[in-house]
């Protein structure tokens, strides 16, 4: 699958008809039925969402399957509540394990485990590995959580890695694999999240020389 994606990406990226500001350059349907969006920054994303109200006509949303990320002392940044009108496609649910990791710029972030505290908060832990020459001090990760039915429950952006100012030993460096601290997310119904459906997407990344 990787070779197929790279071949399509190379063809699309060298097409002069695509404007420089465009994020998406092509969409490809794989042999397993999954749809992939190719971007002009050499990343690709699974098309995993559809409108819950009208899945046949809604424009699908995407979640990055390739992106960079970093482990850190994390802080959760709550985002505005999202109307529950999006849901995972049946193909995405069938291949949900693929959505639990993402990468960008040589950094990969993967879901490691979950836990619940006494206040019924959901705690998420991630593993970060870097093959980048950059030294990352902060990495944001967008986490989308879905009910067992596939309906979107909540989407939050968290700092999955946060280094300590002027302490190089806390930077995420090339060749390192680190574990994030527990990231706590509130207002998730434990009974609706038994399948642990989620998708990850890399957001802002800060690095130092």
| pLDDT tens per residue, range 161-205 | 999 988 999 999 999 999 999 999 999 999 999 999 999 999 999
Mean pLDDT of 104-118: 97
Question: Which residues, other chains included, contact 19 with Cβ-Cβ below 8 Å and sequence gap of 6+?
Answer: none
- For 2, 38, 168, 187, 199, the CA distances from 44, given in Å and listed in that order, are 10, 5, 31, 31, 14
Lookup: tokens for 81: 């509540």
Q: Are 150 and 55 in contact (CB under 8 A)?
A: no
pLDDT digits (tens, 9 = 90+) for 144-168: 999 999 999 999 999 999 999 889 9
Residue of 128, 121, 104, 112 whose CA lies nearest to 203:
104
């Amino acid at each position: 699958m990787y070779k197929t994606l790279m071949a399509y990406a190379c063809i699309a990226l060298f097409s002069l008809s695509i404007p420089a500001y465009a994020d998406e350059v092509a969409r490809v349907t794989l042999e397993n039925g999954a749809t992939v969006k190719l971007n002009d920054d050499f990343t690709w994303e699974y098309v995993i969402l559809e409108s819950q109200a009208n899945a046949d006509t809604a424009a699908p949303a995407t979640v990055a399957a390739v992106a960079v990320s970093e482990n850190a002392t994390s802080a959760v940044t709550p985002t505005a509540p999202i109307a529950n009108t999006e849901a995972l496609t049946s193909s995405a649910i069938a291949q949900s394990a693929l959505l639990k990791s993402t990468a960008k710029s040589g950094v990969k972030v993967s879901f490691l485990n979950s836990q619940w505290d006494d206040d019924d908060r959901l705690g998420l832990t991630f593993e970060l590995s870097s093959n980048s020459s950059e030294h990352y001090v902060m990495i944001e990760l967008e986490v989308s959580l879905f009910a067992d039915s596939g309906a979107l429950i909540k989407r939050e952006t968290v700092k999955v890695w946060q280094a300590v100012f002027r302490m190089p030993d806390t930077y995420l460096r090339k060749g390192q694999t680190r574990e994030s601290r527990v990231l706590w997310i509130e207002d998730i119904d434990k009974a609706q999240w038994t399948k642990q459906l989620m998708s990850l997407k890399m957001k802002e990344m800060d690095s130092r020389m």
